[in-house]
Each structure stands twice: as structure tokens, then as C-alpha cells.
Amino acid sequence: MTRTAAAFWLDRPGRGVIRPVELPEPGPDEVLVRTLFTGVSRGTETLVFDGRVPASQHTAMRAPFQEGDFPGPVKYGYLNVGVVEEGPGALLGRTVFCLYPHQTRYVVPAAAVTPVPACVPAGRAVLAGTVETAVNALWDAAPLIGDRITVVGGGMVGCSVAALLARFPGVRVQLVDTDPARAETAAALGVAFAAPGDALGGRDLVVHASATEQGLARALELTRADGTVLELSWYGDRYVRVPLGEDFHSRRLTVRGSQVGTVSPRAAGRTYADRLALALDLLADPALDALVTGECAFEELPRTMPGLAAGDLPALCHRVRYT
């Protein structure tokens, strides 16, 4: 008997639709997963939704279980939490995380799912991919005990980085954002907050995640001599001006990129699976619930995505629930 599911597709830039899909019978080393929640990765998925993935990045930006091609039609996404309905006994009935798009049910190799720890609610586990990005960023940055660190940009990634830094001994963390409402989020995460004009200077490390020229310029201004700016923003097809004049050279500043597509070389011996498992373990902290600030039903996603892409719905992590 043919089994069907429903999937969210970007039909063309700016227009999403829900399409029926036929599911194959799972093989002996595969699982059938019923989705409980997915998360919208605000930075990447809204750029995809607007058709702003540069042609040069079409291959690099493919999601693990993407179907179709940029700019569309394309089925895209990678924050999926579900329960295994069929598969090997060790996984049967387990809640799992998978880098799968927005779809009600799906079949994937058993090795593609990671069990969610019992202490992590399924609704919070959709943050795993973003917390994994933050883990990789901090492996790249290698902060030291007692460092003075600022995170510029209080979006989903920036707040995840700040949340992890709050656990470092002796580290003084400040989250900087133009939206004063982020002060409440910062307080929930246990870090200080400031507007850009009030931010503290002389920082050992500044993590930039605002995806704006102004944010990057301010990050450079806040960094001490011989300090580092870790760039986490992805700008899609936009060209960004970087202020490398004035005292950039005399202060010997470093701007370093970090991207989750590669495991940080500073984490020798760690695999992608190790990194994701660590991210899921870190999600045991209920403070991270502060990052989920919007929700809709799966059936509402075609109407919701335009608002997310336009910034009319200012959620950090927008969670999609499935019935």
C-alpha cells in the first residue's frame, strides 16, 4: 500500500506550497519518522525563500535531504524532530533529530537520525542545528577563561552563542542588538545586554551575527588591539563593505569566518555526529526555551514564511508544530 505525506516546497522565490509526496517502504537500515516539530532557520531559510542564494553557492548550500534546486522549486530545511514509527528496535519509538526539511513523515537511513536525550523536550530539540552552529563557532573562537566577549546580533545564532558563552568560567558576555526587546532574552540566557551605542569596548573577542554592515563595523570598533572578530553572518547575494581603513591595521585586528558546514579544525578528532550529539546534550538547559518565540501549524507555513522573510514576524526560532 502506498503511503503519502505532505511537504513544504518553495514553488518559486517568495511563494511556498504544501505538496503530497509518496513514501518508500523503509529498508532494513532505514527509519520511518513522524514529524513532531520543525524549526525555521531564520537567516538561511529566509534567504532561500527570497531566492537570494548566489549561483556560486548552490552546491555548497544544499541541505542533506534537499530536493529540487535553487532558486526553486526546492524542498529545503534542516531542523526536524520526530518519533521513529518503523525501523531498528533500538530506535523504535525514540524521539530523534534529523537534518530534514518540513515534511509530515519521511524515510531516511537510520544513521541520519540522532536520538534526543530524554531530558530534552521535543519542542526545544528543534534548536539543535543552531546550537550546533554555536558549538562550532566556539571551537573556532577558542575563548579563554576570563575573556571579555561581545556578541553583536541577537538573532537565533547570536543568542545561541551567547547562551553557551554564559557557561564559560569567568567570561563576561554582552549581547548587543538594535532591538531593545532582546534585553529580556539576554536576561533569560544569563548575559548582559546593550544597544550598539552603549556597548562596552576593549573586548578580547567579538562574535558578529547581525548580518549587517553596521553590525560588522561596530564589532570591529569594540575589539581590543590584537583581538578577533568571528564572523558568523551569511549575507547571501549581498556585497558587504568592511571598514579596513583608519586603525584596523595599527590595532592588528583579525576577522575570521566560521561556518557549520565544516567541523572546526580546532576540534581535532570530532565528527559531525559528535558535534550534533553535544548540541543536543547542551539543550538540556531550559534557559534555551527563550529562543523559541514564534509558532505555527504546518498547514500555516505557506502563509507564515513570507512574514518571516520580510521581518514582519520577528521570531528568533519559529517553530512549526505537526499533528
Q: Backbone phi, then psi, for 272, in 5-degree steps?
A: -60, -40
Looking at residue 1, what is its pLDDT?
60
**Listed residue (17, 1, 22) closest to 9, CA to CA:** 17
Looking at residue 264, what is its pLDDT?
95
Which stretches does DSSP call E strand in 13-54?
A: 15-23, 30-40
Which amino acid is it at 185? T
Half-sphere exposure of 129 (CA within 13 A, CB side): 26
Looking at residue 80, what is its pLDDT?
98
DSSP code, position 103: B
Digit-by-digit pLDDT tens for the chain (323 residues) are 679 999 999 999 999 999 999 999 999 999 999 999 999 987 789 889 999 999 988 998 899 999 999 999 999 999 999 999 999 999 999 999 999 999 999 999 999 999 999 999 999 999 999 999 999 999 999 999 999 999 999 999 999 999 999 999 999 999 999 999 999 999 999 999 999 999 999 999 999 999 999 999 999 999 999 999 999 998 877 888 888 988 899 999 999 999 888 899 999 899 999 999 999 999 999 999 999 989 999 999 999 999 999 888 877 899 999 98
C-alpha cell at 207: 562574535
Cell 576593549, residue? 202
- Alpha-carbon gap, residue 240 to 192, rounded angstroms: 28
Architecture of domain 3-127+283-321: Alpha-Beta Complex (3.90)
Looking at residue 209, what is its pLDDT?
96
Distance of CA 207 to the CA centre of its chain: 15
Looking at residue 236, what is its pLDDT?
76
Say if pTM beats, i.e. exceeds, 0.85: yes
Looking at residue 44, what is its pLDDT?
82
Q: Backbone phi, then psi, for 114, in 5-degree steps?
A: -120, 125
CATH T-level assignment (fold) for domain 130-257: Rossmann fold (3.40.50)
Domain ranges of the chain: 3-127+283-321, 130-257
Contact by Cβ (8 Å): 161, 291: no
